[in-house]
């Protein structure tokens, strides 16, 4: 292996080390050395290695990479780049998009030090374990039974586990800045999906904050301080309404308080996060400790039953109808609740009279065998009484009123799918680790490990709690949502050890902390979306305080959170945020599946334990859970996401993030192109696939923008449109102009709403460039079949680069390529897309049949709103021997079969003598043609004469009678050797030939073939003017150019005469194949 080395003398080693140390310091400081090119570099001023002027330390400086030094500004050395790449620090997503800006804004920050446990595992635990575990899990177990609850939890945990696998693959496929799931989805599926799902994830996080706050208030008013309620229960049956009003008042106050805390200092929220997490972990430990204790010493929580009906102990103290005291029977408070007086002979409720009051233990313990009773579901209607199964009971009168009696009632109707919607928020929060990727020491290792471990831990906790709750707690207590049968205690708290207050206080602080975390994270997510600029109307929320805190986003978040508070029911808010989280998880799985199936080169995740089938399974499970939870909420969430998607697609900023949807589109396009046959399509499928040839001015602006307007009117967004133009020159010299021209053309296409592709070709010859476009534009089966161009108005001016020669050659090449040709004459008079014709005709002059293009084009034009109110008229020409009446009938029948509505007219043209006007016009045309040729010759002779004068002057200064070799006056002229006699003779000879050429022009006679063609053009023009002078558009068959190329300039004159006096003309030349059919 070759090695570069430098020999340093021993006595110079110390000096060399010092010099190298200085160089390293300079590189660390980032100072750039001055660079030049070639010998202009100061350090290369002497080409000799042993030059005494240079010090030994500078002798080889810059020589190793001298081959690349001219590209150093654009392509930096790897040695200087590696430090930046290896020490990449994650900045807030949306603030800095490119590394070029990052270099100027990066500050010295302390390196990320968080590991897997602190940075990912614990935050995920804190976000997953929360309010549902403490307030609703026991109720879900009691209502759905252990088996169905197990299914609910397993489905939800499987959904999050599959999503975590997909998320791990995406998160380890490169660096994920802050923004978490929004960043991953938007960069994987594109700005439209990213914006839509990002906003849905934001709404889910915001409603999660509302749910946590409602849970906090429920714990406060139900279990900690019921006397703090503002709205008291005045009448029987108003408990629910009073509770909801209390929720609204307290919730609004807490939102304002939390918003102030977040606004003042987020750092305090982050510092308290570990405290809140400690509360959750202590509460869970207390639950497990209580379960273990029930095995040998169950807690004493008696339940009072009347028959099989559960009674609420909030209204009485003794679970009996009457008591014996000193041989005296006294009625209890319970008696007075069911009877009209305290006397033993009072009239009582039938059910109360027929059934006995019994007392059972609410928590019989894990060894009691109560698990078998709790295996099955016990769904109920709203307002029904919580009853114990297999308990003896005598039915009372149906007319007895339930209201006001101390039973435990269900507050909502319960069923399986509703419980799924309420439970799912308890497994959300798996994105907490990916949101902190910027603070992790090794994010690509920590995120998968920490997230999957956290989901495994929480899944074990939830599944084990379901079994343990069903094995330890009586079924009626499990179905008692607010613990009314156990003196208003939190149900899960009755199981905890050493005291129920451990759970109550722990759950209160954990829900407070979770609410603060939501109010902290949601505004930052909205700020990241706003700063990306993909949703224009939320860009104001990207601004904030000087330190970057999202003030406006915090206000909006608090406002949306208030909507959830006004709903006031935790059971109603939970399904709403379930929808948004499920949609977010569904698209994370979709992103992973799409990237895996596309096999894009950039898809190289470090996490290898993923597969596209797992991602599709997770996506399907998310979609199924959305409709299981609530089909109407699912449709609303999809409608919101769809509206945001279409809005971003229509109005949003264009972003190119190398997303998977773009890769999917490319794959689909490739597949479709391969399926499309390369041959011509069937006549029924034929439509004009246009190649529009534009002419650009010196500023690379389009000369005739209305050609694009006409294109959009003809196409109406359907089929293929390629807008092409030619720049004359060499591509290396014209690359910047090419980019500018392409930008201008694309901008005009956007204004004119022309959907298609732009192709700019640079060619040394303008005519060759047009030929390249006609031959090579398009791809595979998606090639143009029609060329649309504007008539060259200034074709008579020889200086015009789009001269008659180029035009006629283009006509010939389209014919050779079997392509149709449309030439718009007076294109600047054509309507724009904003104009509307309220009346008028589109006149078709059908002279020869070349495939039916003339019939099809008016039909396509009338689909557009500009031409919609115009009527179609078809004219055809009858000769002397034709039956014009029969022609008209046949044409009407033909149009009927074509399903075209048009007025038909047959114009008779009789043979007559050629007029003197026609003869004179032909003569003038030929004289002009001959004169142009003579002028071209005389121009060449003038150049040659200048050469002769220069040669004469050179010869006069040289020795007489000596032949002088004279250099050319004009570059690239042929050098000639002259004597004085030859020079004079040649000069007189040229003058004589020029004079004789111009004399012949005025003595010439016109060619008979040209006279006949001019006669046809004049007569047809007269007929067309007579019928269609006031038509909005005239379509004419375009005659082909002559086979003899010497008559090309006369061909242009014929076309000019044919269309003279008409405002808007479209000359149509078919490709020779049928493009319209009468068959279905």
The neighbour count for residue 654, using CB atoms within 10 Å, is 9
Q: Which residues contact 383 (CB under 8 A, 6 or more apart)?
A: 402, 409, 410
- Mean pLDDT highest for which of 115-119, 654-658, 982-986, 1044-1048? 115-119
Q: Which residues pair with 907 in a beta bridge?
A: 877
Q: How many whole angstroms separate alpha carbon 907 and alpha carbon 183? A: 69
Report the candidate in 706, 687, 686 with the shortest Cα–Cα distance to residue 695. 706
Nearest to 814 by CA among 780, 788, 852: 788
Does residue 438 or residue 135 have the better pLDDT? 135
Could you give the angle at which helices 266-294 and 443-472 cross, rounded to 10 degrees? 40
* Rounded-to-integer distance, Cα 305 and Cα 485, Å: 9
- Which pLDDT belongs to residue 291? 93
Q: Give the count of beta carbons closer than 10 Å to the beta carbon of residue 229.
A: 17
State the burial class of residue 200 (Cβ atoms within 10 Å of its Cβ: 0-12, 13-18, 19+): buried
Q: Residue 130: which region, alpha, beta or left (left: phi > 0; alpha: psi -120 to 50)?
A: beta
pLDDT in tens, 766-823: 889 999 999 988 887 788 889 999 988 877 765 554 577 888 888 999 988 888 999 9
pLDDT of residue 616: 95
573 φ/ψ angles, rounded to the nearest 5 degrees: -80, -35
Residue 921: exposed, middle, or buried by beta-carbon count in 10 A (0-12, 13-18, 19+)? buried
Band of residue 293 on the pLDDT scale cut at 50, 70, 90? very high
What is the pLDDT at residue 677? 67
695, 693, 682, 687: which is closest to 813 by C-alpha? 693
| Most confident by average pLDDT, 93-107, 178-192, 698-712 | 698-712
pLDDT at 178: 55
β-sheet bridge partners, residue 324: 329
What pLDDT band is residue 699 in, cutting at 50, 70 and 90?
confident
pLDDT at 660: 61
Tell me the average pLDDT across 646-675: 73
Judged against a pLDDT cut of 90, whether residue 622 lies above it is answered with yes
Comparing 19-23, 342-346, 907-911, 945-949, which segment has the lowest mean pLDDT?
Answer: 19-23
Phi, psi of 303 (to 5 degrees): -115, 140
Q: Work out the pLDDT band at 321, boundaries 50, 70, 90.
A: confident
DSSP assignment of 747-784: HHHHHTT--SEEEEEEESSHHHHHHHHHHH-SBTTB--
pLDDT at 915: 57
- The answer to whether residue 528 scores a pLDDT higher than 50 is yes
Q: Write down the pLDDT at residue 485.
A: 87
- For the ranges 909-913, 916-920, 1015-1019, the lowest mean pLDDT is seen at 916-920
CA atoms within 13 A on the CB side of 474: 28
**Beta 977-978 vs 964-965: how paired, if at all?**
antiparallel
pLDDT of residue 63 exceeding 70: no
The pLDDT value recorded for residue 326 is: 77
Tell me whether strands 690-693 and 786-790 are parallel, antiparallel or unpaired: parallel
Q: Which one has a higher pLDDT value, 661 or 708? A: 708
Higher model confidence: residue 634 or residue 327? 634
* CB-CB contact of 196 with 535 (8 Å): no
Could you tell me if 1014 and 1052 are in contact, meaning their C-beta atoms sit under 8 angstroms apart?
Answer: no
Contact 304/311 with Cβ under 8 angstroms?
yes
DSSP letters for 438-479: GGBSSHHHHHHHHHHHHHHHHHHHHHHHHHHHHHHS-HHHHT
Mean pLDDT over each residue of the chain, to the nearest integer: 79
**pLDDT score, position 944:** 60
Give 249 or 1049, the one with higher predicted confidence: 249
Which helix (H) or strand (E) segment holds residue 125: the answer is: helix 122-128
Residue-wise pLDDT for 204-249, tens only, equals 889 999 999 999 999 999 889 888 888 887 665 667 888 889 999 9
Residue 183 to residue 198: CA distance in whole angstroms: 8
Of residues 678 and 199, the one with the higher pLDDT is: 199
User: Mean pLDDT throughout 523-541?
Assistant: 84
How confident is residue 687, by pLDDT bands cut at 50, 70 and 90?
Answer: confident
Mean pLDDT of 369-387: 90
CA distances from 238 to 226, 235, 244, 247, 690 (A): 15, 6, 10, 14, 73
Q: Which are the contacts of 491, defined by CB distance < 8 A and separation ≥ 6? A: 138, 139, 473, 477, 478, 480, 481, 483
Q: Average of pLDDT values for 1011-1019?
A: 78
CA distance 39 to 42: 8
Query: For 190-199, 951-960, 1001-1010, which range has the lowest pLDDT when averaged over its residues?
Result: 951-960
Name the DSSP letter for residue 538: G
For 489-520, the DSSP string reads: --HHHHH-SS-HHHHHHHHHHHHHHHHHHHHH
Distances (CA, A) of 138 to 97, 125, 304, 900: 47, 20, 19, 73
Give the 3-state DSSP-derived string for 876-916, with helices as H, strands as E and coil as C: EEECCCCCHHHHHHHHHHHHHHCCCCCEEEEEECCCCCCCH
CB-facing half-sphere around the CA of 891: CA atoms within 13 A: 25
Q: What is the mean pLDDT of residues 879-900?
A: 81
Query: Would you say 212 and 507 are in contact if contact means Cβ atoms under 8 Å apart?
Result: no
Is the omega angle on the peptide bond into residue 993 within 30 degrees of 0, that is, cis? Answer: no
High-pLDDT (> 90) share of the chain, %: 25
Secondary structure letter of residue 339 according to DSSP: B
* Identity of the highest mean pLDDT range in 11-20, 526-535, 650-659: 526-535
Structure confidence at residue 36 (pLDDT): 40
What is 634-692 written as a DSSP string?
Answer: HHHHHHHHHHHHHHHHHHSPP-----HHHHHHHHHHHHHHHHS-SSPPPGGG----EEE
pLDDT digits (tens, 9 = 90+) for 926-965: 565 665 555 555 555 555 655 565 555 555 444 444 443 4
Q: Is the pLDDT of residue 1029 over 90?
A: no
What pLDDT was estimated at residue 968? 38
Q: Which residue has the tokens 């031959």?
A: 775
More confident residue, 179 or 570: 570
Question: At residue 71, does pLDDT exceed 80?
Answer: no
pTM for this entry: 0.70
Percent of the chain with pLDDT over 70: 74
Beta pairing partners, 786? 690, 820
* Per-residue model confidence (pLDDT) at position 499: 87
User: Would the CA dihedral through 239, 240, 242, 246 be positive or negative?
Assistant: positive
Asked if 1032 and 870 touch (Cβ cutoff 8 Å), the reply is yes
Place of tokens 């009996």: 320
Cα distance between residue 155 and residue 161, in whole Å: 10
Quick one: pLDDT at residue 626? 94
The β-bridge partners of 692 are 723, 788
What token pair was written down for 236?
């029987």
- Structure confidence by residue, pLDDT tens digits, 433-460: 776 666 678 878 888 999 999 999 999 9
Q: Pick 404 or 370 by higher pLDDT.
A: 370
Q: Give 174-203 as a 3 state SS string.
A: CCCCCCHHHHHHHHHHCHHHHHHHHHHHHH
- CA-to-CA distance for 660 and 590, rounded, in angstroms? 10
Query: What is the structure's pLDDT at 963?
Result: 41
- Predicted local distance difference test score (pLDDT) of residue 286: 93
40-49, 438-447, 519-528, 993-1002: which has the minimum mean pLDDT? Answer: 40-49
Q: Are 878 and 887 in contact (CB under 8 A)?
A: yes
Handedness of CA 224, 225, 230, 236 (dihedral sign): positive
Element (H, E) at 27: helix 13-29
Assigned token pair, 506: 């722990």
pLDDT of residue 6: 42
Model pLDDT for residues 170-194, shown as the tens digit of each residue: 888 877 665 566 777 777 777 888 8
Pairing assessment for the beta strands 1065-1069 and 820-825 based on DSSP bridges: antiparallel
Residue 48 pLDDT more than 60? no
Band of residue 92 on the pLDDT scale cut at 50, 70, 90:
very low
> Which runs of E-coded beta strand occur in 279-427?
302-306, 309-310, 322-325, 328-331, 357-361
Among 1063, 1056, 1069, 1054, smallest CA distance to 843 is for 1063
pLDDT of residue 83: 62
Higher pLDDT among residues 858 and 718, named by residue? 858
Q: What pLDDT shows up at residue 982? A: 55
| Distance of alpha carbon 252 from alpha carbon 563, whole angstroms | 10
């Amino acid at each position: 292996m070759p090695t570069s080395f430098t020999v340093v003398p021993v006595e110079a080693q110390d000096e060399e080390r010092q010099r190298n140390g200085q160089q390293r310091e300079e590189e660390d400081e980032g100072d750039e050395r001055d660079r030049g090119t070639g010998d202009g570099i100061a350090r290369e001023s002497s080409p000799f290695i042993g030059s005494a002027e240079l010090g030994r330390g500078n002798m080889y400086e810059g020589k190793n990479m001298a081959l690349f030094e001219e590209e150093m500004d654009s392509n930096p050395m790897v040695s200087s780049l590696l430090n930046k790449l290896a020490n990449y620090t994650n900045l807030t997503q949306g603030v800095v998009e490119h590394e070029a800006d990052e270099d100027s804004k990066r500050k010295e920050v302390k390196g990320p030090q968080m590991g897997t446990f602190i940075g990912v595992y614990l935050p995920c635990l804190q976000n997953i374990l929360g309010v549902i575990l403490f307030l609703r899990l026991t109720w879900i177990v009691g209502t759905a039974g252990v088996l169905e609850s197990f299914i609910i939890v397993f489905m939800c945990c499987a959904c999050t586990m599959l999503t975590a696998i997909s998320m791990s693959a995406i998160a380890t496929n490169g660096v994920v800045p802050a923004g978490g799931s929004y960043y991953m989805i938007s960069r994987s599926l594109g700005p439209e999906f990213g914006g839509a799902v990002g906003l849905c994830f934001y709404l889910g996080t915001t409603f999660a904050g509302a749910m946590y706050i409602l849970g906090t208030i429920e714990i406060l008013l139900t279990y900690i301080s019921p006397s703090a309620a503002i709205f008291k229960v005045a009448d029987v049956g108003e408990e629910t309404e009073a509770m909801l009003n209390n929720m609204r008042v307290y919730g609004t106050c807490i939102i304002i308080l939390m918003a102030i805390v977040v606004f003042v200092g987020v750092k305090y929220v982050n510092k308290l996060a570990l405290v809140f997490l400690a509360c959750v972990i202590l509460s869970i430990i207390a639950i497990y400790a209580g379960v273990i204790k029930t095995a040998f010493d169950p807690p004493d929580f008696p339940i009072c039953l009347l028959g099989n009906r559960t009674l609420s102990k909030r209204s009485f103290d003794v679970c009996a109808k009457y008591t014996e005291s000193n041989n005296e029977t006294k009625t209890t408070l319970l008696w007075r609740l069911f009877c009209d007086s305290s006397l033993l002979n009072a009239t009582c409720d039938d059910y109360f009279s027929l059934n006995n009051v019994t007392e059972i233990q609410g928590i019989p313990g894990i060894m009691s065998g109560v698990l078998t009773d709790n295996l099955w579901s016990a769904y109920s209607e709203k307002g029904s009484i919580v009853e114990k199964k297999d308990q003896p009971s005598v039915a009372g009168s149906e007319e007895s009123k339930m209201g006001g009696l101390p039973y435990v009632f269900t507050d909502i109707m319960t069923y399986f799918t509703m419980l799924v919607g309420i439970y799912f928020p308890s497994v959300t929060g798996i994105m907490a680790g990916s949101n902190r990727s910027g603070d992790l020491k090794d994010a690509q290792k920590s995120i998968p490990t920490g997230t999957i471990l956290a989901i495994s831990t929480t899944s074990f906790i939830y599944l084990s709690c379901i079994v343990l709750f069903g094995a330890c707690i009586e079924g009626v207590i499990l179905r008692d949502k607010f613990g009314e049968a156990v003196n208003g205690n939190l149900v899960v708290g009755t199981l905890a050890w050493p005291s129920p207050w451990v759970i109550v206080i722990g759950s209160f602080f954990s829900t407070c902390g979770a609410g603060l975390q939501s109010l902290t994270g949601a505004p930052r997510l909205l700020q990241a979306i706003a700063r990306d600029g993909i949703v224009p109307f939320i860009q104001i929320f990207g601004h904030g305080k000087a330190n970057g805190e999202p003030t406006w986003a915090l206000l909006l978040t608090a406002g949306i959170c208030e909507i959830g508070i006004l709903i006031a029911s935790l059971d109603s808010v939970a399904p709403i945020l379930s929808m948004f989280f499920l949609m977010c998880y569904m698209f994370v799985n979709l992103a992973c599946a799409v990237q895996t199936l596309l096999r894009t080169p950039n898809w190289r995740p470090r996490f290898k334990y993923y597969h596209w089938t797992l991602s599709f399974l997770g996506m399907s499970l998310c979609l199924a859970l959305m409709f299981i939870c609530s089909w109407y909420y699912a449709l609303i969430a999809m409608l919101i996401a769809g509206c945001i998607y279409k809005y971003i697609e229509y109005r949003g900023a264009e972003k190119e993030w190398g997303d998977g949807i773009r890769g999917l589109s490319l794959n689909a396009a490739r597949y479709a192109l391969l399926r499309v046959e390369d041959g011509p399509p069937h006549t029924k499928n034929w439509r004009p696939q246009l190649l529009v040839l534009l002419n650009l001015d010196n500023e690379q602006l389009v000369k005739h923008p209305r050609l694009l307007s006409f294109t959009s009117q003809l196409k109406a967004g359907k089929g293929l449109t390629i807008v092409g133009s030619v720049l004359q020159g060499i591509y290396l010299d014209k690359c910047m102009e090419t980019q500018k021209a392409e930008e201008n053309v694309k901008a005009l296409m956007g204004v004119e709403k022309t959907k298609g592709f732009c192709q700019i070709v640079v060619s040394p010859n303008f005519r060759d460039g047009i030929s390249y476009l006609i031959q090579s534009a398009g791809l595979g089966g998606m090639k143009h079949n029609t060329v649309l161009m504007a008539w060259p108005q200034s074709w008579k001016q020889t200086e015009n680069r789009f001269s008659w020669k180029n035009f006629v050659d283009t006509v010939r090449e389209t014919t050779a390529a079997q392509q149709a040709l449309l030439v718009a004459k007076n294109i600047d008079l054509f309507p724009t897309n904003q104009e509307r014709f309220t009346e008028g005709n589109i006149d078709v002059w059908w002279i020869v049949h070349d495939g039916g293009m003339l019939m099809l084009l008016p039909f396509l034009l009338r689909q557009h709103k500009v031409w919609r109110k115009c009527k179609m008229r078809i004219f055809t020409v009858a000769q002397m021997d034709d039956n014009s009446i029969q022609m008209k009938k046949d044409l009407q029948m033909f149009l009927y079969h074509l399903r075209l509505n048009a007025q038909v007219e047959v114009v008779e043209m009789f043979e007559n003598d050629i007029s003197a006007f026609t003869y004179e016009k032909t003569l003038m045309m030929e004289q002009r043609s001959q004169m142009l040729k003579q002028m071209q010759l005389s121009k060449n002779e003038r150049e040659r004469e200048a050469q002769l004068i220069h040669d004469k002057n050179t010869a006069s200064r040289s020795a007489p009678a000596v032949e002088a070799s004279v250099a050319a006056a004009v570059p690239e002229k042929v050098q000639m050797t002259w004597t004085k006699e030859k020079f004079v003779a040649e000069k007189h000879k040229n003058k004589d030939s020029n004079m004789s050429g111009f004399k012949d022009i005025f003595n010439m006679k016109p060619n008979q073939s040209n006279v006949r063609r001019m006669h046809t053009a004049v007569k047809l023009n007269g007929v067309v003017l007579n019928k269609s002078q006031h038509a909005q558009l005239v379509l004419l068959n375009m005659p082909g150019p002559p086979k003899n190329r010497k008559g090309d300039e006369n061909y242009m004159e014929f076309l000019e005469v044919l269309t003279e006096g008409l405002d808007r003309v479209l000359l149509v030349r078919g490709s020779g194949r049928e493009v319209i059919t009468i068959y279905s």
